[in-house]
Amino acid sequence: MSDPYLIAHKVRGEPAFDIAEKMECPLCDGQGIFQGEEPDGGDSRCVECEANGYWWIIPTSGHRAYPYWAEELDVFNGEFGTSLRGVPEMPDDIPDHYAHSTSPTQVRDRLAALLESLPPVPVEPFKRRF
């Protein structure tokens, strides 16, 4: 793991600060280039880490983060007030730390479909062996 950073990222639609570390991207082995079989036979940018070679991880939870601002924690020397003035506004198009890809209605529909796919409950009682 790398040194800790103070990051600003989107959490449930709101800007938030967190401590994060860089983790080597397992898809490209930290190279930023996907080394797989491409249709044209060449290499391409790693889309998982956006060709950076690393991901951001929140060490206390192990969750992945998508910061729009980051600063090494050592820079602050215990004085956060003046250093945080340079934090930009949160862009709307960045991924959320807790991505919600389904609405409550979709969850209910999926649950209903799952329950319908289960085998029917036996109508007649059957004898169990003990």
Task: Give the pLDDT of the chain (130 residues) as one tens digit per residue.
Answer: 578 999 999 998 899 999 999 999 888 888 888 665 554 555 588 878 888 889 899 998 888 899 999 988 887 776 666 567 778 898 888 888 776 554 455 566 667 777 777 777 767 776 778 7
Asked if the structure places residue 38 within a domain, the reply is: yes
Contact (Cβ atoms closer than 8 angstroms) between residue 28 and residue 34: yes
Asked if the structure places residue 101 within a domain, the reply is: no
| CA-angle at 51, arms to 6 and 67, nearest 5° | 25
Q: What is the pTM of this model?
A: 0.64
Total structural domains in the chain? Answer: 1
Structural domain of 26: 5-86
Distance CA 100, CA 12 (A): 9
Any idea what DSSP says for residue 50?
T
Asked if the structure places residue 96 within a domain, the reply is: no
